[in-house]
Amino acid sequence: MNKLNQLNPTASSQMKIRNAMRSLYRERQLWLISIPMIIWVLIFSYMPMYGILMAFVNYIPGNTILQSDWVGLTHFKMFFDSPDFPLVLRNTLAISGLSILFGFPAPIVLAILLNELNNKRFKKTIQTISYLPHFISWVVVASILFALLGNEGILNDVLIRLDIIDQPISYLGEGKYFWGIITSANLWKDVGWSTIIYLSAMAGVDSEMYDAGKVDGLNRFGLIWHITLPSIRSTIVLLWILGIGGILNAGFEQQLLIGNAQTREYYEVIDTYAYKYGIELGNYSYGAAIGLLKAIIGVTLVFGANRFSKKVLDTSII
């Protein structure tokens, strides 16, 4: 067959087209069902990508993008040459790195602990309590943090009453505390929601594997290490790859709500910088360039992490 394909490439192409048409006909019902979603994705996900061109022009509101002057990579160069670039990059990588370092393993550990509980009612109660913060807006979370960590907040009040400190500590007014606070808030808000994914993966593990492990003399820790974790490895790798791809997504609302002028040196990230110096000042092309650069780096990291995972762990998403 390979020799025939080499001698007659036209026939090979026609055969591939026929096979594709047959497959399309066999799956025609699925494709018909998928048509509305495909149209939705084209309209709301691909058509707006025309706006990417804004990053390469000097856009002026009132004109179309094609009517604007072409400036090439000027806005990208402005971002790299900006005196704030090292600061913004440092904060973005630090906050995202801390979120991955603590936020990635935390839901795995919580899911394992919940999976080991025998009392189903208690298990469901803890699971519900853990993922409820995910539905709380950052405005409410910021209010809670101000009530807890403000100069007249609960924490300072307790510490003063216990004679541990003499004067209130400005936790939200000093930059050295900001990374720890934002990491803790992110962890509290998202750990329960991510746990649901791992619990769903654990629910698919064959119970007979656990029975066989017990016969072989494995204790609870051994069952977790040799059966549970290997069984959900593909889920762990998938979320790890997506986490690496989103390493430049260090947050936006939480920084604007919790941060202030005193902590700007620690809270300013790529998204807040693009908003302040791009959208607020009317430099839409500059903001678009920063957003496009961030997206390109994110996609590159996803493919890089996927390739690394495929070679080292023999597991990948594509």
CA torsion sign for 139, 144, 150, 153 is: positive
**206: pLDDT strictly greater than 90:** no
Q: What is the reported pLDDT for 7?
A: 47
pLDDT above 70 for 311: yes
Report domain extents, the chain.
1-58, 73-312
* Inter-CA distances, 294 with 18, 86, 267, Å: 41, 15, 17
Residue carrying structure tokens 């994705």: 41
Could you report the per-residue pLDDT of 145-176, keeping only the tens digit for each? 999 999 888 999 999 999 898 899 999 999 99
For residues 138 and 95, give the distance between their C-alpha atoms in angstroms, rounded to a whole number: 17
Residue 4 has pLDDT above 60, yes or no: no
CA dist 270 and 245 (Å) reads: 15
Predicted local distance difference test score (pLDDT) of residue 83: 93
With 80 as the cut, is the pLDDT of residue 225 above it?
yes
- Whether residue 251 has pLDDT greater than 90: no
CA distance 217 to 212: 9
- State the pLDDT confidence band at 2, using cuts at 50, 70 and 90: very low
Give this prediction's pTM. 0.83
Average pLDDT, the chain: 89
Task: Please say whether the beta carbons of 192 and 132 come within 8 A.
Answer: yes
CB-based contacts of 292-295 (< 8 A; 24+ apart in sequence): 292/52, 292/55, 293/76, 293/79, 294/248, 294/270
Question: What percent of the chain is modeled with pLDDT above 90?
Answer: 52
Query: Is it the case that residue 209 has pLDDT exceeding 70?
Result: yes
The mean pLDDT of 215-219, rounded to a whole number, is 87
Q: What mean pLDDT is predicted for residues 239-264?
A: 89
Q: Residue 102's pLDDT band (boundaries 50, 70, 90)? A: very high
Does position 8 have pLDDT exceeding 90, yes or no?
no
Best CA proximity match to 175, nearest among 95, 98, 257, 260: 260
Name the burial class of residue 273, with classes exposed (0-12), middle (13-18) and buried (19+) by CB atoms within 10 angstroms of its CB.
buried
Model confidence pLDDT, tens digit, residues 111-142? 999 998 888 888 889 888 998 999 999 999 99
pLDDT grade for 3, boundaries at 50, 70 and 90 = very low
Q: What CATH architecture is 73-312?
A: Orthogonal Bundle (1.10)
Q: For 50-94, what is each residue's pLDDT tens digit?
A: 889 999 999 988 888 888 899 999 999 999 999 999 999 999 999
Mean of pLDDT values over 2-6: 47
pLDDT at 9: 61
